[in-house]
Amino acid sequence: MTPLDAESLKHHLAGLPGWTHHPERGAISRSFRFANFAEAFGFMAQMAAVSERLDHHPEWFNVYNRVDITLTTHDVDGLSERDITWAKAADGAYAPFQ
């Protein structure tokens, strides 16, 4: 697994407008809001399956209708394609709740 170079990262971040880049951590984060806890948990369940399929897992925090997610790739101590793929899948899973 290789870390994303600056040019690739800039390109990918342009397609992930809801996500914040944390260069000091080599991570991206986004906060998702839902109508209630059940919807938030349903989203997390959906993304848990994606995580297993991608072998890539988020750092996330949930309270009631809020899910805060941070993505980084431990294996490269920064961001990789897997973070981008995971973030795009999360944005796709979130779309029906918007």
Which residues make up the interface to ligand HBI (CB under 6 A)?
55-57, 72-75
Supply the minimum distance, in Å, between the C-beta of residue 19 and ligand HBI.
14
Closest contact distance (angstroms) between CB of 38 and ligand HBI is 26
Closer Cβ to ligand HBI, 18 or 59, answer by number: 59
DSSP lists the bridge partners of residue 91 as none
Least Å distance between CB 93 and ligand HBI? 17
Which lies closer to ligand HBI via its Cβ, residue 25 or residue 74? Answer: 74
